[in-house]
Structure 1
Amino acid sequence: MSRFLVRGRAVWRALILLLLLAALAAAWLWRDLDRFGRTPLDIASAGQTIDIARGTGFKQIVDELRSRGLTRAAPLYWRALAEQMHVAGRLHAGEYALVPGLTPRSLLENMAAGRVLQHDFTIIDGWTFAELRAALDKATPLRHLTRGMDNATIMQKIGAPGEMPEGRFLPETYAYVKGDSDLDVLKRSYAAMHKTLDALWPGRDQGLPLTTPYDALILASIVEKETGRADERKRIAGVFVRRLEHHMLLQTDPSVIYGMGASYTGNIHKRDLTTDTPYNTYTRPGLPPTPIALPGKPAIEAALHPASGDELYFVAKGDGTHVFARTLAEHDRNVDCYQLKRCR
């Protein structure tokens, strides 16, 4: 056998060995990359986030993770995993949640899909617009653009110039992301109320003493402030509808209180019932000029579908419920019993 043949076989063996070693190394690296992708990051507690600004490079993202001690893996591993997932150039800016158990693969998937962290802001049924503004002012991480604006400017900014803001925003929970502003939340809430009224108004009971959807909104706000009980809303709405039909004064304390503004300190007195304001339903007939709060959808439905009957009065029993009456004499007895504690 010639020396060249022996040398050739030796070269082939060396090449095969190198290829085998390379294959083994590649398989090991592949398995190690897979292990890295599935191993949770070092996140000790919930509530952490990472905020990726627009224009941030891939290396900067990894450097941020490493500087915060969330990963000890070399940047090469992160780059290789991103290339394997075909997301290296498709990561979106935004705020992302870092929760215990989150893996590098899941984090990159979230960033590639733009699954940014959402925050919730809940508008409570019965809030006034002033209370809504105060709550928005405390919400984070909203951008607070309305600070220093008067109500008229706010309504102009959300596309409703000239409208009074009270009652115009639907109580619901609204999701927002970092970078959104309080005006964004108000626009969505205003649109939601507009859509709700448009949907409910055509199906209202016929013959109601309400000529416009805005009238329904005003009545709904009174119902909202009078009771939080689902089983009483339509019954209370029925009382007010019949009083309107009989041209009786509504005599609803929440409207009087709203008209008192800052002078209301927690108690309503007899003099307050006789002091005239645009919202004093003891001195002025009909509905007040605007809603007195933000009514929820159930209160609006109650105003549009009031319970039938002949009750014209109600009084709070002190336990969150009300007692109803058909006549003034019966109502006076209820007031004596439940308000003055002189039951007989």
Structure 2
Amino acid sequence: MKRIITALIVLIMLGLAGAAGGYAYWKSRLAEPLALTEPLLYQVPAGAGFNQVVADLGRRGVIADPWALRVLARVAPDQVPALRVGEYRLTPDMNSRDMMALLASNEVVTYSLTVPEGWTFAQMRGLLDSAKKLEHLTADMSNAEVMALLDADQDHPEGWFFPDTYQYHLGMSDADILRQSHQRMEKMLEAAWADRADGLTFDTPYEALIMASLIERETGAPDERREIAGVFKRRMKRGMRLQTDPTVIYGMGSRYDGNITHADLKEKTPYNTYVIDGLPPTPIALPGSAALEAAVNPLPGNTLYFVARGDGSHHFSRSLREHNNAVNRFIRGND
């Protein structure tokens, strides 16, 4: 009897030792670094479960022992996180637990796109259409359909989207970027209008947006925006036409080939401020914050004209004679 008891004790001890050894080996497999020599971009697809992802990572050779994670899911399901759809950057210093924690986090790989100040809405849509990893929901939509999708109150989209750098990740769509941009422009315009100066030559925030788009297209020099706004204000107060070339270009649409002719300046389009009085009917571009601020806070002064110097800046004049002399100098090259 003693021999039987002794044998049982020995067997139990051996079993416990074996179990302890197996447990230690299992834990060591979970702690083993991933089989990577360099970072790997991995995508968790929509609808993928834990076991499916583990099997895929095993087939790819990212984890040498997928069985260790499957055991974890059986013996400690509370330690198995719910995976999130997206792209993740796996690195060689991670182990299996680190990797699964990452795949359940918000630390997805992000991308960015930049909409420059002064671009048109058409250019912005072209950028979105070409953006990688972004779902293209609006590519075949008309502008009116896009605005309806965004539940926007405006009919004409030009000017209503804020130019900036936007971050996105796999699973986001162009509509998400457009919605962010539209909402931000509404807030920026509201803030600018609330801080407007007295005595403006327009009465509504939308007219301020139109004015900001003209300023944005006329100059990229930060120190000139308010002065150009001042010129436009004084011309409007005197009943003078704005006569700004960017409105001619916008009115020409796809016909514009980089040059404006004398005939173009006389063409009666709704946007040509050489032939219409006051502001054009809509913005002509997407203005940034500095142009919005300049539109509602024009610089006081007595200049009525400006001409490009050819270096990105402008020469401002108080009289037509001074302006004509500046045109001869900077445009025609006559000193």
- Structure 2 counterpart of 1:59: 51
TM-score (norm 2): 0.90
Partner of 1:206 in structure 2? Answer: 198
Q: CA deviation at 1:98?
A: 2.8
**SS class of match (2:223):** coil
Residue 125 of structure 2 aligns with which residue? 133
Residue number among 224, 228, 231 corresponding to 2:220 in the alignment: 228
Give the superposition deviation at 1:140. 2.3
**What is the CA distance between 1:35 and its match in structure 2?**
2.8
Residues 41 and 102, structure 1, Cα contact 8 Å, conserved in 2 = no
Following superposition of structure 1 onto structure 2, how do residues 37-76 of structure 1 map, counting pairs within 5 Å? 39-42=33-36, 44=38, 48-54=41-47, 56-71=48-63, 73-76=64-67
In structure 1, C-alpha distance between the alignment counterparts of 2:305 and 2:176, rounded to whole Å: 42
Q: Which amino acid is 2:67 matched to?
A: L
User: Shift of the alpha carbon at 1:87?
Assistant: 4.2
Q: Cα offset for 1:10?
A: 6.7
Amino acid at match of 1:207: G
* Superimposed CA distance per residue, residues 190-214 of structure 1 (whole angstroms, 9 cap, x where no aligned partner): 1111111122211111111121111
Are 2:31 and 1:35 aligned? yes
Return the alpha-carbon distance in structure 1 between the equivalents of residues 81 and 232 of structure 2. Answer: 62
- Distance verdict in 2 for CA 1:151–1:14, change over 3 Å: closer
- Choose from 8, 23, 26 the match for 1:26: 23
Instruction: Pick the aligned partner of 1:291 from 283, 288, 307.
Output: 283
Structure 2 Cα separation of the partners of residues 18 and 69 of structure 1: 33
- Residue from 220, 227, 235 that aligns with 1:243: 235
C-alpha displacement at 1:43, in angstroms? 5.6
Secondary structure of 2:44 counterpart: strand
For 1:80 and 1:244, the matched residues in 2 are separated by 77
Q: Measured at CA, do residues 81 and 322 of structure 1 come closer, stay the same or move farther in structure 2, by a change above 3 Å?
A: farther
Instruction: Give the match for residue 88 of structure 2.
Output: 97
Instruction: Tell me how far apart the structure 1 counterparts of residues 60 and 4 of structure 2 sit (CA, whole Å).
Output: 56
2: distance between equivalents of 1:140 and 1:245? 48
The amino acid across from 2:241 in the alignment is L
Q: CA deviation at 1:34?
A: 5.0
TM-aligned CA distance change 1:33 to 1:66, over 3 Å: closer
Rounded to whole Å, the distance in 1 between the matches of 2:93 and 2:207 is: 52
Cα offset, 1:40, TM superposition: 3.7
CA distance in 1, matches of 2:100, 2:178: 33
314 and 66 in structure 1: CA distance in 2 versus 1, 3 angstrom threshold: same
Instruction: Specify the code of the residue in structure 2 equivalent to 1:206.
Output: D
1:6-46 per-position Cα deviation (integer Å, ceiling 9, x unaligned): 7756755664565455445534543x14532xx14426456
- Secondary structure in 1 aligned to 2:122? helix
Match of 2:70 among 61, 72, 79: 79
Across the aligned residues of Structure 1 and Structure 2, the Cα RMSD in angstroms comes to 2.4
Local SS of the residue matching 2:312:
coil
Question: Partners of 1:41 and 1:228 in 2: how far apart?
Answer: 51
Q: 1:292 to 1:27 in 2, by over 3 A?
A: same
Give the unaligned 5+ runs of structure 2: none
Whether 2:132 is the aligned partner of 1:108: answer no
Is 333-342 or 134-143 further displaced after alignment? 134-143
Is contact 1:91–1:114 with CA below 8 Å preserved after alignment?
no
Q: Distance in 1 between matches of 2:309 and 2:102?
A: 53
**What letter is aligned with 2:215?**
V
Q: Which runs of 5+ in 1 are unaligned?
A: none
- How far apart in 1 are the matches of 2:212 and 2:300? 16
Deviation at 1:290, TM superposition (A): 0.4
**1:311 aligns with one of 273, 284, 303:** 303
Partner residue of 1:172 out of 143, 147, 164? 164
Deviation of 1:130 (Å): 1.1
Larger displacement relative to structure 2 (115-124 or 333-342): 115-124
Deviation at 1:180, TM superposition (A): 2.5
Structure 2 letter corresponding to 1:42: L
- Measure the CA separation in 2 of the matches of 1:29 and 1:193: 55
The match for 2:181 is 189
Partners of 2:59 and 2:327 in 1: CA distance: 69
What is the percentage of aligned positions where both structures have the same residue? 43
Residues of 1 paired with 2:141 and 2:21: CA distance?
67
1:159 match: 151
Distance 2:221 2:77 in 1: 53
Counterpart of 2:138 (choices 134, 146, 151) is: 146
What's the CA shift for 1:248? 1.3
Distance in 2 of aligned mates of 1:247 and 1:135: 39
**Residues 251-288 of structure 1 deviation map (CA, whole Å, 9 limit, x = unaligned):** 10001110011221111111111111111111111111
